Amino acid sequence: MVNPLPPGKTTTAHLAAKELGYDIVEMNASDTRSKRLLHEHVMELLSSQSLSSFAHGSAQIEGGRKRVLIMDEVDGMAGNEDRGGIQELIAMIKTSKIPVVCICNDRQHPKIRSLSNYCYDLKFTKPRIEQIRGAMMSICFKEGLSLKPEALDEIIMGANQDVRQVLHHLSMLASGKKSLSTESAKLEASKSKKDLKLGPWDVVKKVFSAEEHKGMSIHDKTGLFFQDYSFGPLFVQENYPYVVPQAAKGSAIKTLDLLGRTAHCMSQTDLIEKVIRSQNAWSLLPVEAVFASVVPGQLMEGFISSQIAFPSWLGKNSRTNKMDRLLQELQTHMRLKISGSKRAVNLDYLPYVLNSIVGPLKRSGADGVSEAIRAMESYDLMREDLDSLLEVAQWPHKPDIMAGTVPLCIFSIYK
């Protein structure tokens, strides 16, 4: 399992296979990788004969040859064409007798979390500037291109440490000028600067990283917000309490003060977001960027002391919507017998209705089932509504409402 951003993942897999004498068959995002295709074709190839005969268009079977399957961009296995592909790939890994190399660009993708349990997780990191500089200086010398190390560093940073883009840029320079000053290199690097689409995990790291801020302007910090202005602020809001700010210098009082000021910024972000969404005031996005990213990052500049947390608001919002839907269904079923609104059902009716149903079960056990059913019928409630009532009425860290009563399955024998 190979991780995102740095180039050369597929090349590394090919070189490793070649060095070890493996025959390679590769499937990437341009191929349809559905459950049916993987099961009918790939499994048959892996279990029968060498794949080199298919790769080279030869019908000859080469016995004893080692084989490897490279699955590129597995995080792109989505939609109707690749439906069921991840599950079939996991089943293939469990039974395959040959190595299967899976390559992804988004390690945090939900599909990859299940796949990673069956893979050796190898993470690729972006090469450092000094690592790239040595190899590029050697190439410049062989090509007769005169570049100072400082000028080459500017080109490397402009390409965001992408080795392939640095090589492309040097090849263009070699076709023209044979020497380049530092200032000229800065100009060339700015022209060829590579724009990257960062994931929310990378964005939140950069928002709070003091090391990253050293080379960032106000426009760069604002740009982090626009990587994903719907998702990024949620990550900032979830993770700012776990940042160790440099400005606090270890003082708990200063840390609390910075946390309070950051919380105030996040509350302003919520107000701006509400105006933007409700009034289509998208011109306020730059203002939101300042309150949601720039100012919190400046106040809490330092480092994140724990693993980056996924926004809990998404799960809480999903549960809120579910509870609202259940209350709406209960109010709809009960509206011929009550006059309350959905809110009244939740606050006023629900405790008493639930007690009239559960009470007989607690007092009389199985003998109270008939009385409980009559209570349900008096409010036009169905068997499924009892599950909804129990779920809406159950609070965290509270005893189970049905504890000590008969199992709910006993209701299935009653009509």
> Three-state SS string across 323-375, please?
HHHHHHHHHHHHCCCCCCCHHHHHHHHHHHHHHHHHHHHHHHHHHHHHHHHHH
Is residue 30 one of the residues assigned to a domain? yes
Asked whether residue 74 falls in the same domain as residue 153, the answer is: no
Asked whether residue 140 falls in the same domain as residue 40, the answer is: no
Asked whether residue 389 falls in the same domain as residue 325, the answer is: yes
Asked whether residue 157 falls in the same domain as residue 233, the answer is: no
The CATH code of the domain that includes 236 is 1.20.272.10
Asked whether residue 37 falls in the same domain as residue 90, the answer is: yes
CA distance 159 to 78: 30
Q: Which among 276, 292, 310 is the end of a domain?
A: 310
CA distance 42 to 54: 11
Asked whether residue 302 falls in the same domain as residue 204, the answer is: yes
The CATH code of the domain that includes 134 is 1.10.8
Domain housing 345 = 317-413
Asked whether residue 179 falls in the same domain as residue 143, the answer is: yes
Angle formed by the axes of helices 218-225 and 232-239, nearest 10°: 100
Angle at 408 between CA 406 and CA 413, to 5 degrees: 100
Asked whether residue 242 falls in the same domain as residue 305, the answer is: yes
Is residue 4 one of the residues assigned to a domain? no
Is residue 3 one of the residues assigned to a domain? no
Q: Which among 289, 310, 331 is the end of a domain?
A: 310
Got the DSSP string for 7-32? S-HHHHHHHHHHHTTEEEEEE-TTS-
Q: Which among 68, 83, 118 is the end of a domain?
A: 118
Half-sphere exposure of 412 (CA within 13 A, CB side): 3
CA distance 199 to 308: 12
Is residue 382 one of the residues assigned to a domain? yes
Is residue 271 one of the residues assigned to a domain? yes
Asked whether residue 140 falls in the same domain as residue 204, the answer is: no
- Distance between first and last Cα of the chain: 54
Asked whether residue 77 falls in the same domain as residue 100, the answer is: yes
The CATH code of the domain that includes 99 is 3.40.50.300
Is residue 124 one of the residues assigned to a domain? no
Reading the block at residue 153, the tokens are 């560093």
Asked whether residue 275 falls in the same domain as residue 328, the answer is: no
Is residue 23 one of the residues assigned to a domain? yes
**Tens place of pLDDT for every residue, the chain, 415 residues?**
444 445 578 888 999 999 998 888 887 765 656 667 776 666 666 555 554 545 555 444 444 468 888 888 887 775 555 566 788 788 888 888 888 898 888 777 777 878 888 888 888 887 888 888 888 888 888 888 887 788 888 788 777 778 888 888 888 777 765 555 666 666 666 665 656 677 788 889 999 998 888 878 888 899 899 988 888 899 999 999 999 999 888 889 999 999 999 999 999 999 999 999 999 999 999 999 999 999 999 999 998 888 888 898 888 888 899 999 999 998 888 888 888 888 888 888 888 888 888 888 878 877 888 888 888 888 888 888 888 888 888 877 777 777 666 555 555 544 4
Q: What is the largest CA-CA distance in the chain?
A: 96
The predicted structure's pLDDT at residue 98: 84
The predicted structure's pLDDT at residue 188: 62
Angle at 165 between CA 162 and CA 168, to 5 degrees: 150
Is residue 137 one of the residues assigned to a domain? yes
Total domain count for the chain? 4
Asked whether residue 278 falls in the same domain as residue 223, the answer is: yes
